[in-house]
Amino acid sequence: MRDRLLDWAMMIAAAEEAARMTQIQIAGPIVVQALGRKYTTKTGRDTDVTLPAKLLDEAGAGALKELVIWSSTDQYVLRVIADGKIIYSAQYSWFVTVSQEVREIAAFQAQDGRYVLHLSDIKFSKGIRVEAAPAGSSSVTLDEVFWKVELSV
């Protein structure tokens, strides 16, 4: 049954990616029913985010499927709080170090010179909040932030 659910999730992700690639807007969130539970997929995208900022704040049970941050600087701190507990609270450089060992984290400098941070598969039962702040005293602006969550409905 789990393999079947994974197949469904992969088909939904592929459809969302195909829609994004062809610039087709999906009208509203996608709702999937599995094992008697319904899940809705929500996405968000922000550009030119001045720090400090709350990047994501969702209540309920679910999973952060993806969080991707593109920035021209690596001088920021990211904090992920799930169910009231701090999951991550670190500077970009720490994410680079652990990304070599942790499958759910990827941090690297892209060919265009921007710093990319990708987090995935963070489950929560009460809610999730993601915040970012400058690592020092200078101002920081994130170029782009994309997130995708699945929430139980």
Return the pLDDT at 149: 97
- Read off the pLDDT of residues 12-58 as tens digits, 9 standing for 90 and up: 666 665 555 544 444 455 555 555 568 899 999 999 999 999 999 99
Is the pLDDT at 2 greater than 60, yes or no?
A: no
Contacts of 43 (CB under 8 A, 6+ apart): 16, 146, 147, 148, 149
Distance (Å, whole) CA 50 – CA 98:
26
Tokens of 85: 């507990």
Distance (Å, whole) CA 102 – CA 98:
6
Tokens of 37: 């539970």
- Read off the pLDDT of residues 45-95 as tens digits, 9 standing for 90 and up: 999 999 999 999 999 999 999 999 999 999 999 999 999 999 999 999 999
| pTM confidence score | 0.76
DSSP β-bridge partners for residue 9: none
